[in-house]
């Protein structure tokens, strides 16, 4: 099981990668790639929130 800090880092990385995909989709005109990027950003946000919750639960 990942620690809270690990989840936060992975979430931030997913958000960044998703933003890059979304931008690439906009530049290339690929709505599919753009949608995948938005979905990955949402996944990253959830993962980051999970990590924050884990850290708060430890305190």
Q: Give 37: exposed, middle or buried? Use CB within 10 Å, 0-12, 13-18, 19+.
A: buried
Mean pLDDT of 54-58: 90
The secondary element (H helix, E strand) that includes residue 36 is helix 31-58
pLDDT tens digits, one per residue of 40-55? 999 999 999 999 999 9
Q: Domain map of the chain by residue range?
A: 4-58
Taken in order 36, 49, 12, 10, the sign of the CA dihedral is negative
pLDDT tens digits, one per residue of 2-26? 899 999 999 999 999 999 999 999 9
């Amino acid at each position: 099981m990942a620690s809270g800090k690990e989840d936060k880092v992975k979430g931030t990385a997913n958000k960044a990668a998703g933003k890059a995909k979304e931008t690439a989709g906009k530049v290339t005109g690929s709505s599919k790639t753009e949608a995948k990027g938005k979905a990955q950003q949402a996944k990253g946000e959830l993962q980051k929130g999970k990590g924050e919750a884990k850290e708060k639960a430890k305190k």
